[in-house]
Structure formats: structure tokens, C-alpha cells
Structure 1
């Protein structure tokens, strides 16, 4: 019976990830005390097979009284309804606003009966971008987001949100109430300074502190700006679960687990989602091996049905983390583990750590799965948002932005106070079925998809160039920070234009350089050969390395004598 439940849950999760509008994303959260320079950082990989990677921009604006805002679902563009506009909205570039507030998300779905709400207007994408336009800090963003769904209903399924500013990092997990009752139930927790956290399509908040000095319920939201408050939750998050039969009416409130009640972890939640968080935790702390069996889908339960061998919501890393490391955390393929995607037969002859969908498949009636690592080919865009409280907001916030697969992309610096974005990354420059060589998304896809054909030889060249560029950009920002901070004291408008020019130039120049890089790679690796220039000689040096010995043995094993050379004595 247990096996039937696990397979059914797995198929439900796979179905969700196969829906065109479904997101399969990854967020990592790093607090000031855990970073080398004292900055807060959150990451976001927006993964979808139909998401076109581009850099959104919404300028600050004033709105007349009575102005109504049209709300469209982010995933599909479907019109959901109208809500009143606020008098003033803040500038937003990507997923970061002019006050260094950044928001990312991952969809966990949760209980299917809570997955839709008739008449709801606010989807998870609208929550993000409305909050960014209306919030000066993370706490205000939480207040805005939860009040929006309470007032206008929640259109999406369960979501985890990462919310950061220059001083704090929070995780908010939210799920709708289903049909019959408007709004959502939710819990928000501040990540303790010096710690890191993560989420990747599986709800992760379990038990949480109830009313007290550090915790408040939603009927006391006026207290959310008290710095002692580190936990906030919907006043009915537990009573609603009891009313619906999700949690025993005799169950103690202090034992209530948000995730185990509203989004219980199953095989897919662990193997396809939690393992992404584990790969990050494993990179920064010794001893995470104890959770690897759980992340492979082997879940232990107590008498309530709650999972007992889960990872903690946050951990204290063994070392301080810099922004270049964070970029690399987004490029993980489970290297160094027994699930390393470059090591099994699915990697082909060239160690390709990618698998084409579907996520699961059958042989002789038995279901098997591909791994779902952090770095994936279907990423539309990703970022590392860095907030620094010792600088003016327009300088302190950097949205390190990249498009396509993070493993072969390059994160370039976009200051949060800029007034326009690079044309090569701008909305409207190309579409998913409309190729243009002027678009960053298409140029980076050319390189990454070419690399998939001979990964073990081509990707190391990408990684070398990637690291050189990102290291250069980091050195540049150290200088730009100083210059812009000084300019702010004399003329704020000039300083912002300086930051805008810098960010746009880096993005546009990067795309030009990546075009040339694609030409270099294509000339070197086309037709299965590996060529290099040979001085002034007309013909290049050429190698034809073929396949590995192990792959040749596999060919012989599967073909028998079909390819054997007759008469060969060796």
C-alpha cells in the first residue's frame, strides 16, 4: 500500500512539472553574517520549458486617485481582474527594487484541494512584482503580499518565497484556502543572521514559534515592523487545517507543521526538490551526508504521518560565502555524489549531466526517474540578488543576472537603481519561437546547446571564460561602488545615470563577446573533431578523440559481433 501511495504521489508531481505553466525553480538564501562582505543574498532560477529569459523593468511612477491596475497571470498572460493602484510605485529591475528588496519563488503545489480559488485575482507572479513596487523592506513586502491575497483571493497553488533587503532575509510559505473561502494560510520566518537556507519546489517550514516575543499572528500585523519579531503567521493557519481535517482537532498547536500538513514531502518532493537544497547545504557544511538518504526519496514518518528525517530549514555554514561561490552553487549537477549525472549511461559518450524530459519513464512496467539537479537546460533566467546596507540603496543593490542554463550562463551586474536595462536583455527583444541574434537569451542558448553535444570537452572552456568574466565584473563593481557613492553626495541623478550606463554597457558587451565565443567554439569543435590554429599554417592541428574506452566497451556489449572487423587478430 505504501508503494502505491509513493508511486501515485510521484506521478502527481511529475504531472505538475509537465504542465507548460508550471515552474520548477531554486532559491538559496544567504544572510549578512554568512557572507564574506556582509551582504544579504538570495538566488532564483526561473525554470520552465516555455519561459523566455529577459530582464523585466518597471519604472517608478505616480498614479492618480482612482486608477485601477489590470492583473494578469504571470505564467500565461491570462487576465484575472483589477485592483486599485497605489499612489506611488517604486522602480523594479528584474526581481529587485530601488530599495534593495528582492523576491524569488518556488512552486510546491501542496494539497490539490487548495490549488484553485474561484474569483481570485492575485497569482504568485503578481504577488512578487506588486510587492516589489510597493515595499521599502522585506517586512513591508510580507505585509503587502499577505494582505493582497486576503483582500483579493489567491489564484495559484502553494508557493515558497524568498524575500530579502539590505538587513534581513525571510522565507514566506503560502497556500490558498481553495474554493469557498477567500485568501490563504501562510507562515513567514526570518533566517537567523549567520545562517543560510533554501527551497526548491517543496515546502520547508515545519513547526514554528507561536505567539510570543518573537512571533505574531496576522491579526497583529501592525507589530511586524518590530525588529524583535522574527516569525509571522496567518491567524487561522492551524485552525483552518483542523477545520478541513488536515490536522487532528486534538493535535497540539505547538506540534503543528506547516509543510507536513499542507504539502507533505513524498518521493518526488525529496528526490526532485529537496536534493537541490541539499546540494547547496552540502557545499557549505560538513555532515550533510546524514540527509542524503532522505533526499534520495527514503522518507521516515512518525505516528502523525510527519516526516522525521528531514533537513533543517536553515544551517550555519562552515565558512563565509562570497558572491562568486553563490553563482557556482546554481551550477550544480550533483557532482561528487553517487547520483552524479555525468557518470551514468544517460550521460552518453561525453559525460553530459543533462537528461531530456520526461522526468520519469518505464521499462517493463517499472518506473524510473532522471535526476533533477540545480542547473538545468530549461532555465529562462536566474539571478543572485545582493543587498548591502553600507551603501546608498541605488548602489547597494546588485542583481547579478543571467539567462538560460546557469551552468553555461554568465552573471553580469545590474545595479538596482538604474533607469533602463541593456537592449540585449530587454523585454520584447525576441520570443521563444522568434530567434534573433540580438537577444541574450538566444546567444546563450546557442552556446549551451552546442556544449551539450560534447560536454566533457566544450563545457570546461565555457567554465573558464565564465569565471574570468564574473571575476572581472566583481572587480569592476568594487570600483564602481566607490565612484557612485561619491557621486551620490553631489548629484544623485548623475550617479544613477552612471550606474545605468555601466550596467547596460556590461550586458550589451557581454552578448557581443558571447557571440564571438560561440564562433570560436563552433570552429574548434564542429563535425566531431577538435581543431586548433597552427601558427600561420593553412590547416589547423586536429584531434579525433572518438569515445572513451568505457563507451566503446558498451557499444561492443550491446552490438555483439555486428561491428567486428573480420580477420583482426587483436
Structure 2
């Protein structure tokens, strides 16, 4: 087929599926392969994969098709791999003037642009603001299918979402996650998509401060759900042995309960952040307020640009 379409003309043993159907250029290296590299470097740091592999200057360089992690990855560690802005690398999106004074690791579209006749682009990290949903799939053949399969599901940006368990046997979907509960063009205060977007959008104002609050709560909720999982599944397995249908009902009720609790917590979190960070100030405790201002390097840019106006 590749020969018929003109994608490949060499010898059979020279055939490369990637080169034929997705030839490398700098854009797809930085927009796609760089994300793969960032997971590889974190899952298997012993490989010491250099960032030059995805710099884009050498379009003949190739990442491995797969890797073996340095150690077995826990569920929590896989969730962490989904949260990445190239932190600690030359592509770290928290750095530089494009990140602004609060170190925001997001770049508003368009992804590419031209200025002074030259084309430039923003990095495209694993964690992006336009993510609709993501999930971590947990598959365990040691358990009956209704119990062994779980989608840890989250909406909006992976960095600030919370992964909550949706067992694969669900007989109905939690209210906050139902199709038709709001749309991209219609807000709904009961839709998880809008509740999480509301919080992350607010965080863009004081990102380096607010994201710490968000991540603390995110981690606490996910840790509690992971800790509770063995107990829930032990109960579900006991029910399943007597009546598989009742086990489906039990896991559906549990998944919906935790999803509902999460939506309610995110409603409350928005209110807490709005009050705490109102108008660029930070309320440290009742009756007290701090003024974080801007970092020194940002003040230097202001003074250099403004000159005699200040």
C-alpha cells in the first residue's frame, strides 16, 4: 500500500512505518514526540535520554517504540506521569517571559505564529488547558471483569484534575459527568467539566500560588480513594460471588457517590480560592493579608521598559 501511494520506494528491509506514514519534521517532533520523551525520561531516568532527541534539529533521531520503566509503577505514579510541563528540562514551560510573572506553564493558542517574517511556536506539553478529559486505565485479570477494570477519570487539564474511579461495570453515569449536562458552549454548575475549568481558569491569575492549594487537595483526594480501593473491592468481590448483578449495583453506587462528592468539593474550592486570592492579595488567615507582588526579574523588565515613567 505504501508503495502504491508513493510513500515508500526502497527495499522491503528498509521500510519504516513511521517514516512512510508520519515523516518527522520539527513541528511533530516538538508537538508530539516531546511528550513521549517526557514520560520516558521520568519512567526510566536510567536511560538518560537526551533532550536533543526531541529538539527538532535532527529529524533522523528516533525515540524507542517502547521502554521498560526502571521499576514497577504504582497507580499514583502513572497519574503523575500524566501531569507534565517539561519541568526541570530545557523546555520547562514555567520559565521565561512567556510564562509571565506567575510562572504559568500554559500558552494560549494559536500554537504557531509569525512575527517579523519568522515562524515560531509554543511548546505542547502533556498537561494542556484544552484537555477535555483524560484517564488512567487499571486492568487486573486477577479479579472478575466488573471489579478488575477501572477508569480513573478526570476532566479538564491533567495537572489540576482529580482522577476518580469509574468501574467498567457502571450501569449509569454520575450526574456531573453525563452527556448533555452542559456543553462547550453552555455552562452548567453541576457539570464536572465546568466545575474543574472554573477552578483552573481562576488559577491562571496567580498560578504559582493557587496551584499549590489545588494540588494539595487533589493529592489528598486521590490518596484517599486509592487507600479505600482494597476495602471497596473486597466487599464487591464478596457480593459478586453471591450475586454478580448486586456487585454491579454496589460499584455503580460507589463510583457515583465519589464523583458527586468530588464535584461538590470543587464547587467549594472555587469559593475558597476566590476569597483567598481576591484582587491579587493573599489572605493568610482571618483578618490578615499579604501582598505577594511580582518576582524581581519581572520588576526589572518593567523598569527597563518604562524608563522615566516610574
Is the pair's TM-score, using the shorter chain for normalization, greater than 0.5? Answer: yes
2:195 is the alignment partner of 1:443:
yes
Is 1:262 paired with 2:14? Answer: no
What corresponds to 1:155 in structure 2? none
Residue 292 (str. 1) matches residue 44 (str. 2):
no
2:38 is aligned to 279
| Match status 1:467 vs 2:219 | yes
Q: Secondary structure at the residue paired with 2:34?
A: helix
- CA distance, structure 2, for counterparts of residue 533 and residue 282 of structure 1: 40
Cα distance in structure 2, aligned partners of 1:556 and 1:361: 28
Give the Å deviation of 1:501. Answer: 0.2
Relative distance call for 1:390 and 1:290 in structure 2 (3 A) is closer
Q: CA deviation at 1:244?
A: 2.5
Task: Tell me what 1:453 maps to.
Answer: 205
Tell me the equivalent position of 1:559: 306
Relative to 1, partners in 2 of residues 1:519 and 1:394: Cα closer, same or farther, differing over 3 Å? same
1:287 is displaced (CA, Å) by 4.9
* Counterparts of 1:407 and 1:380, CA distance in 2: 12
Query: 8 Å contact 1:291–1:311 — kept in the other structure?
Result: no
SS in structure 1 opposite 2:309?
A: coil
Q: Quote the offset at 1:477 in angstroms.
A: 1.3
Distance 1:476 1:277 in 2: 31
Q: Is the 8 A contact 1:529 1:545 kept in 2?
A: yes
Alignment root-mean-square deviation, CA? 1.2
| SS of residue paired to 1:383 | strand
Q: Which runs of 5+ in 2 are unaligned?
A: none
The equivalent residue for 1:132 is none
- Correspondence 1:165-184 to 2 at 5 A: none
Map Cα deviations across residues 234-263 of structure 1 (whole Å, 9 max, x no partner).
xxxxxx112222211xx3323211110111
Residue aligned with 1:445, SS: helix
- What is the alpha-carbon distance in structure 1 between the residues aligned to residue 240 and residue 5 of structure 2? 55
Corresponding position: 1:360 with 2:112: yes
Q: Which residue of 2 aligns with 1:323?
A: 75
Report matched runs for 1:341-360 at 5 Å: 341-360=93-112
Which residue does the alignment assign to 1:245?
Answer: 6
What CA distance in whole angstroms lies between the structure 2 residues aligned with 1:246 and 1:411?
A: 41
Higher relative contact order (CA 8 A, sep 6+): 1
Divergent runs of 4+, >2 A: 286-291
Alignment of 1:493-504 (within 5 A): 493-504=245-256
Match of 2:265 among 488, 506, 513: 513
**How far apart are the structure 2 equivalents of 1:457 and 1:409?**
17
How does 1:85-484 map onto structure 2 within 5 Å? Answer: 240-248=1-9, 251-300=10-59, 307=60, 309-484=61-236
Q: Secondary structure at the match of 1:447?
A: helix
Pairs aligned (count): 310
| TM-score where L is the length of structure 2 | 0.97
Specify which structure has the higher proportion of strand.
1
User: Distance in 1 between the 2:200 and 2:290 partners?
Assistant: 22
Q: Is the radius of gyration larger for structure 1 or structure 2? A: 1
> What is the CA-CA distance between 1:288 and the residue it aligns to?
4.8
Query: Which whole-Å CA distance do the structure 1 matches of 2:190 and 2:88 have between them?
Result: 38
Give how far 1:558 is off: 1.4
Structure number with the higher helix fraction is 2
User: Is the CA contact (8 Å cut-off) linking 1:376 and 1:406 kept in structure 2?
Assistant: yes
- 1:53-86 deviation per Cα after TM superposition (whole angstroms, max 9, x unaligned): xxxxxxxxxxxxxxxxxxxxxxxxxxxxxxxxxx
Say which of 499, 513, 527 aligns to 2:279: 527
Distance in 1 between the 2:155 and 2:104 partners?
20
1:448 shift after superposition? 0.2
TM-score of the superposed pair, with normalisation by structure 1: 0.53
Deviation at 1:291, TM superposition (A): 4.1
Deviations 1:384-403, CA, capped at 9 Å, x for gaps: 11100100000000000010
How far residue 289 of structure 1 moved from its aligned partner, in angstroms, is 4.5
Deviations 1:545-568 (A, max 9, x none): 1101111001111111211xxxxx
CA distance in 2, matches of 1:520, 1:312: 45
How far 1:284 moved relative to its partner?
A: 1.3
